[in-house]
């Protein structure tokens, strides 16, 4: 299988749930708390001893994702703090040794599979816990300025054995896994520094169909990319304005990852949530540029997705139930971006996402005589192709067509 075959389902599905969850949910100041506040392992230890997510019910997470129209999920099996939600034989720093006492990844995989969703693993190649992970290679290591730590004898190969071993565990012990989402490489700590070719060969042997992000390093945009350069490009907190193409101008699969508020991990004070409308428009924006959206939630220390996030997902789901056809299996359109919104397309079906209906009929450049019929996607009701009075005199619109939206109820008066 090549990248194009592997990513087919992914590009059809378009919309996934990202989940950042770990010990950092307890301090509730985001997943970077250890680095930002320069906490030692000991400072962080109380969260390990305390971690007991009594409300952890991944079936609920999976139902929320499915109801929102999301088709796959990616969960942090280990974040930069090194804590593992899975029962790794290679470390004691794992959920089974906390009061939670269970393999939380196993339950996640089962629950999401049961809802018919595809399952992904986020795995941090950065590790602030492992004794052989070098602070000198990581400008944000919490212990970087600590003299004792610097003097430690680091054998990076031991860390690499551990990291490769954990990836092997993750891809061996939980059945078929759809996405491996590595995070991340600094400019000078990249590619073969992770023994990336060897790592990818191992992964492809265990899970031949799995798709992998581009954060191990390499140049995914090259016409001859390294084996570890990834199946899809992962821009963060941005929708790339022109999509992503390789050196030859060919489309590269990509997936924007975006938070609902301003943190990935749970943050009790961060209430800066995006509106459902912004989220829907971001999803449309991605698809209109051939991309996916991986939308993040950060469950709290009890294991609950914040109410605010659930409410946004519900509204998005309402929209998706009526308009999902304009997302799944859709791509960019070759038509120029319309002034009133965005296009997505599936074969000969063009979806017009109308953000600004203005007054009068809306204009479709280049489509004169080409629109067979027009329908309002939300309810299937008929719309009329209409040529306005004296339109032939508007010199710049000769090749275009008009559709009359009069009387059409755009969903919540916000989107098509
Ligand atoms: C990383 C993590 O540090 C963060 O906590 C979160 O998990 C996010 C999804 O990924 O953050 C990054 C990684 C890469 C870039 C920026 C932030 N980047 O390439 O610009």
Digit-coded pLDDT (tens) for 217-234: 999 999 999 999 999 999
Predicted local distance difference test score (pLDDT) of residue 375: 97
Predicted local distance difference test score (pLDDT) of residue 390: 72
Residue 74 CA, ligand 1 centroid: distance in Å:
14
Residue 25 CA, ligand 1 centroid: distance in Å:
17
Give yes or no for a cis peptide into 184 (omega within 30° of 0): yes
φ, ψ for residue 398, nearest 5 deg: -55, -35
Look at ligand 1, atom 7, and give the residue with the nearest C-alpha: 264
Residue 184 CA, ligand 1 centroid: distance in Å:
7
Look at ligand 1, atom 15, and give the residue with the nearest C-alpha: 236
Residue 54 CA, ligand 1 centroid: distance in Å:
28
Look at ligand 1, atom 4, and give the residue with the nearest C-alpha: 264
CA–CA gap between residue 416 and residue 356 (Å, rounded): 10
CB proximity list for 64: less than 8 A, separation 6 or greater: 17, 305, 310, 313
Predicted local distance difference test score (pLDDT) of residue 396: 67
Q: Write out residues with Cβ below 6 Å of ligand 1.
A: 20, 31-32, 183-184, 236, 257, 264
CA–CA gap between residue 110 and residue 334 (Å, rounded): 40
The Cβ-side half-sphere exposure at 116, using a 13 Å CA radius, reads: 5
The whole-angstrom distance between residue 212's C-alpha and the CA centroid of its chain comes to 12
Predicted local distance difference test score (pLDDT) of residue 311: 98
Two structure tokens written together for 222: 């090259």
The pick from 183, 238, 298 for probing ligand 1's pocket by mutation, whose C-beta has the most ligand atoms within 8 angstroms, reads: 183
Cβ 134 vs Cβ 156: under 8 Å: yes
Residue 116: Cβ within 10 Å count = 9
Structure-derived torsion over alpha carbons of residues 155, 159, 165, 168, reported in degrees to the nearest 10: -140
CA–CA gap between residue 120 and residue 168 (Å, rounded): 14
List Cα–Cα distances, 302 to 28, 58, 64, 100, 263, in angstroms.
11, 12, 17, 10, 18
Look at ligand 1, atom 6, and give the residue with the nearest C-alpha: 264
ipTM of the complex: 0.96
Residue 215 CA, ligand 1 centroid: distance in Å:
9
Residue 399 CA, ligand 1 centroid: distance in Å:
45
Two structure tokens written together for 81: 């703090």
Predicted local distance difference test score (pLDDT) of residue 416: 45
Residue 343 CA, ligand 1 centroid: distance in Å:
30
Q: What is the DSSP letter of 337?
A: P
Two structure tokens written together for 156: 């990076």
What residue has token string 């969850």? 21
Does pTM top 0.95 for this prediction?
yes
Look at ligand 1, atom 20, and give the residue with the nearest C-alpha: 236
Cβ 120 vs Cβ 210: under 8 Å: no
CA–CA gap between residue 68 and residue 243 (Å, rounded): 24
Cβ 213 vs Cβ 234: under 8 Å: yes
The pick from 33, 124, 236 for probing ligand 1's pocket by mutation, whose C-beta has the most ligand atoms within 8 angstroms, reads: 236
Q: What is the DSSP letter of 234?
A: -
Two structure tokens written together for 395: 């010199």
CA–CA gap between residue 273 and residue 385 (Å, rounded): 39
Look at ligand 1, atom 10, and give the residue with the nearest C-alpha: 183
The pick from 184, 215, 235 for probing ligand 1's pocket by mutation, whose C-beta has the most ligand atoms within 8 angstroms, reads: 184
Look at ligand 1, atom 14, and give the residue with the nearest C-alpha: 184
List Cα–Cα distances, 90 to 233, 308, 323, in angstroms.
30, 37, 46
3-class SS shares of the chain: helix, strand, coil, % to 5: 30, 20, 50
Residue 252 CA, ligand 1 centroid: distance in Å:
20
The whole-angstrom distance between residue 396's C-alpha and the CA centroid of its chain comes to 40
Residue 183 CA, ligand 1 centroid: distance in Å:
7
Q: Which ranges of the chain have pLDDT less than 70? A: 151, 395-396, 412-416
List Cα–Cα distances, 308 to 33, 217, 268, 297, 350, in angstroms.
22, 35, 11, 10, 33
Nearest 5°: the CA angle 255, 266, 120 is: 35
Residue 321 CA, ligand 1 centroid: distance in Å:
31
Predicted local distance difference test score (pLDDT) of residue 103: 98
What residue has token string 């120029």? 336
């Amino acid at each position: 299988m090549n990248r194009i075959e592997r990513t087919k389902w992914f590009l059809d599905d378009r919309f996934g749930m990202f989940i950042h969850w770990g010990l950092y949910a307890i301090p509730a100041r985001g997943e970077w708390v250890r680095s930002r506040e320069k906490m030692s392992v000991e400072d962080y230890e109380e969260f390990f001893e305390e971690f007991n997510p009594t409300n952890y019910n991944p079936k609920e997470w999976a139902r929320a994702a499915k109801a929102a129209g999301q088709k796959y999920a990616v969960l942090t099996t280990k974040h930069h703090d090194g804590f593992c939600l899975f029962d790794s034989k290679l470390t004691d720093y794992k959920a089974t040794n906390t009061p939670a006492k269970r393999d939380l990844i196993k339950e996640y995989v089962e629950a999401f599979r049961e809802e018919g969703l595809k399952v992904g693993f986020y795995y941090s190649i950065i590790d602030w816990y492992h004794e052989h992970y070098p602070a000198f290679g990581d400008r944000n290591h919490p212990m970087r300025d600590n003299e004792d730590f610097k003097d430690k004898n680091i054998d990076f190969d031991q860390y690499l054995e551990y990291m490769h071993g954990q990836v092997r565990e993750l891809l061996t012990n939980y059945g078929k896994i759809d996405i491996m989402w590595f995070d991340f490489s600094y400019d000078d700590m990249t590619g073969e520094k992770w023994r990336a070719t060897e790592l990818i060969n191992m992964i492809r042997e265990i899970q031949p169909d799995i798709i992998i992000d581009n954060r191990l390093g390499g140049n995914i945009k090259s016409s001859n990319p390294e084996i570890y350069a990834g199946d899809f490009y992962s821009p963060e907190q941005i929708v790339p304005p022109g999509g992503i193409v390789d050196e030859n101008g060919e489309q590269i699969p990509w997936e924007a990852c975006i938070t609902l508020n301003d943190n990935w991990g749970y943050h009790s004070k961060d209430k800066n949530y995006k509106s459902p409308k912004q989220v829907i428009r971001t999803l449309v924006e991605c698809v209109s540029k051939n991309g996916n959206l991986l939308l993040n939630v950060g469950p709290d220390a009890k294991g609950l997705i914040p109410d605010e996030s659930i409410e946004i997902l519900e509204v998005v789901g309402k929209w998706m139930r009526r308009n999902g056809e304009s997302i799944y299996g859709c791509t960019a359109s070759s038509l120029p971006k319309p002034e009133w919104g965005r296009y997505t397309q599936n074969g000969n079906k063009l979806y017009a996402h109308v953000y600004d209906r203005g007054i009068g009929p809306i204009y479709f450049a280049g489509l004169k005589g080409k629109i067979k019929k027009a329908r309002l996607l939300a309810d299937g009701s008929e719309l009329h192709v209409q040529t306005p009075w004296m339109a032939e005199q508007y010199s710049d619109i000769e090749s275009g067509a008009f559709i009359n939206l009069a009387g059409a109820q755009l969903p919540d008066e916000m989107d098509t």
